[in-house]
Chain A
Amino acid sequence: MTTMFQAPNNPFEGSPLSSFLSTPPRTVAPPEPPPPPEPEVTEQTAPTQPNSLLSSVFGANTATPEPERLTADEIRARAEVQTRTYGAVILLVNALIECVKVSMTLKKGEYAAYLELKSNLGTDGVVNVYESDPAVKEIWLKGKQFDETLENIEAEHELEDAEAKLLFKAIKADLERKNRKNEIGDDSVWGTMFKLMLTRQLTSAFELITMFTRRRAQR
C-alpha cells in the first residue's frame, strides 16, 4: 500500500539541514540487482502407494516402495499366513482334480441307478438280492466306490475350525500392521480379501466341489 506522505506541521522554518541540502547531491550508477533466487533442488521422494481401488483397474503402482523393516515376529506371522494360504489353495485344487477323476469312472445314468438301488436297499433291508445280476452288481460297486472316494476327499480336505481361526487371525494381524505402517495398497487389499474369503469359506468350497460332482454324476 502506498500512502501519500504529508510533510509535518513543522514548528521550525525549514529543516536544520536546509542549507546543506541546497546543493544537489553527487550520484553514482546503481549496482546490478541481485540475481533472482534459484529454485531449491529438493530430493524427489517416492510417492506412497496409492490407496485408490481403481488403480488395480487402470494399472498397478509402479513406484518403488520403501524397503520394509519387519520384526522377527512379523516375519514369522507373515510367513505363516503365506504358507497356510498357499497350502489351502493347493488342497482345494487337489480336491477338484480328485473329484474330476472319480466322476470320469461313471458313465451317464450309472450313478442315478446306484442311488435308486441304494434307496431300495434302505427301504427293503435286503442286501444280497442283486448280487445274482452281474450288471446290477457292477453299478452297485462303481457307485459305492464313487461315494466313498468323495467322502474321503471331504474328510481329507476338511479344514479344522481351530486351524481356520488361526489362519484368519494371522491374516488380520498382517492387515492391521500394513494399515498402521500405511503400506497398504490395492494389491494388499485384494490379496488380503482373497485370503480372508478363502479362510472363511474353505470348508464350504470343499463341500461345494463334492456336491457339484455328485449332482453332475446324477444327470
Chain B
Amino acid sequence: MNELRDSAAILHVGMKRTGKTTASLQMMVEFVEKQGKPVVVLDLGCHPSFDNFRRISLNELPKIHSLPGKKYFVYRPYESLQVFPEILEFCTMVSKYVRNAVVFFEDFTTYVEGNFHPIIKGIILNSRNSCNDYVFNVHSFSDVGPFILKHCEIYLVRETIDDPNDLPPKIPYTIRPTVKQALGLVLKENQRNRNKYAYRIIYKEENRIG
C-alpha cells in the first residue's frame, strides 16, 4: 500500500493524572521511530519528563532535521517575563521554516486562551501543507477556545472535569454527540478499572470513535 498519511492537529484532553504526559512521550517515540519526524515540545512548565530532551533555540529550528543526536527537542522560553512574545516567535519560526516535524504544545491552555493570535491560527490551519503534526495537551474542553475545537482533526479524549451531559457549547454541534459518547465510555472504563487511564480517539472528519 502506497497510501500516505496527512498531517493532523490533535487535541489531547485530560485532567491531571490521567496519563497525558506518559502517552505523549509514547507518541513522541512513535513519531520519531516509526514516522521519522523530529519532535519539538513547547514546554513552559519545565516538566521533568522533558529534561533530557535536547534544548533547541529559535535559530536552530530551521535546521531541525540536520541537528545531531536523537530527534527529541524541547523549547523552553528563556525570559519568564517575555513568554508570550517568545511563544509567538516560536510559532512564527515553526510556520516559516519547519516542515515534516511534530510539535507538542504542553499544557497549551497555560499560555493560550480565548481568541487565538493569527500566528497560532495560521500554524493550525496550515498543518497539512507544512506536513507538521501538532499535538495540543489541555486539561478540559472548557479550557480551550472554539477555534481549536473546530480545526483539530483528532480529539484524544481522557477523563476531564467536563460533564458529558452538559458539554460546553463551543464544541461543534456535529461532533458533540460523539464527544459525549467518548467521555461516557472513558468514565465507565475508569470506574471499572479503578484508575483514570482510559482514553478514546475521535476522528472528527469521520465523526467516529477509534
Known A15-B30, A33-B63; judge A8-B156 contact (CB<8 A).
Answer: no
The answer to whether A15 touches B29, judged by C-beta atoms less than 8 angstroms apart, is yes
* Contact status B7-A26, CB under 8 Å: yes
In angstroms, how far is the closest chain B Cβ from the Cβ of A25? 5
Report the bound CA distance from A12 to B210 in whole Å.
16
The interface on chain A, measured as residues whose beta carbon lies within 8 A of the other chain's beta carbons, has a size of 31
1/0 contact string of B163-203 vs chain A (CB within 8 Å): 00000000000000000000000000000000001010100
Given known pairs A2-B68, A12-B197, A26-B7, the reply for A21 and B30 (CB within 8 Å) is yes
Closest residue to B200 on the A side, CB-wise? A16
From the candidates B22, B37, B130, name the one contacting A28 in the complex (CB within 8 A).
B130
Known contacts A5-B70, A12-B19; 17 further A-B pairs (Cβ under 8 A): A4-B70, A5-B72, A8-B25, A11-B19, A12-B23, A14-B26, A15-B23, A16-B23, A21-B30, A23-B3, A25-B100, A25-B131, A26-B131, A31-B62, A31-B96, A31-B99, A34-B62
Query: Cβ of B115 < 8 Å from any Cβ of A?
Result: no
Tell me whether A162 is interfacial, beta carbon within 8 Å. no
* Top 10 closest pairs, chain A to chain B, by CB: A2-B69, A15-B26, A23-B5, A26-B4, A5-B72, A3-B52, A33-B62, A15-B27, A8-B25, A27-B100
**Is A28's CB under 8 angstroms from B27's CB?**
no
Chain A residues within 8 Å of B29, by CB: 7, 15
* Chain B residues with CB under 8 A of A21: 5, 27, 30-31, 34-35
What is the minimal beta-carbon distance from B173 to any residue of chain A, in angstroms?
25
What are the residues of chain A within 8 A of B23 when measuring CB–CB?
Answer: 10, 12, 15-16
CB distance from B10 to the nearest CB of A (A): 7
Name the one of B36, B97, B129, B201 contacting A20, with C-beta atoms under 8 angstroms: B201
Chain B residues whose CB sits within 8 angstroms of the CB of A29 once the complex forms: 99
User: Does A128 lie at the interface of the complex (its beta carbon under 8 Å from any beta carbon of B)?
Assistant: no
User: What are 17 A-B residue pairs whose CB atoms fall within 8 Å in the complex?
Assistant: A2-B68, A5-B53, A10-B25, A12-B22, A14-B26, A15-B23, A17-B30, A18-B30, A23-B4, A25-B131, A25-B133, A26-B4, A26-B6, A27-B99, A27-B100, A28-B100, A29-B99
| A28 with B70, Cβ < 8 A, contacts A11-B19, A34-B97 known | no
At the interface, yes or no: A24 with Cβ under 8 Å from chain B?
yes
CA distance A29 to B131 in the complex (A): 10
A7 touches B25 (CB 8 A): yes
Shortest distance between the CB of B176 and any CB in chain A (Å): 21
Total interface residues on B, CB under 8 Å, equals: 46
For residue A71, CB closer than 8 A to chain B, the reply is no
* Distance between Cα atoms of A93 and B31 in the complex (Å): 96
With A19-B210, A21-B34, A31-B97 known as contacts, the answer to whether A10 contacts B4 (CB < 8 A) is no
Q: Please tell me if the beta carbons of B52 and A25 are within 8 angstroms of each other in the complex.
A: no
- Inside 8 A of A59's CB, which chain B residues have their CB? none
B1-44 with Cβ < 8 A to chain A: 3-8, 10, 19, 22-23, 25-27, 29-31, 34-37
Task: Kindly state the separation between the CA atoms of A14 and B62 in the bound complex, as whole angstroms.
Answer: 30
B10 contact set on A, CB distance < 8 A = 17
Compute how far the CA of A22 lies from the CA of B34 in the bound complex, rounded to whole angstroms: 7
Cα separation A26 to B128 with both chains bound (whole Å) = 9
The residue in chain A whose Cβ has the minimal distance to the Cβ of B96 is: A31
A residues in contact with B151, CB < 8 Å: none
Q: Which residue of A lies closest to B67 (CB)?
A: A2
Closest residue of chain A to B37, judged by CB? A25
Question: Considering the chains assembled together, what is the distance between the CA atoms of A17 and B154 in angstroms?
Answer: 10
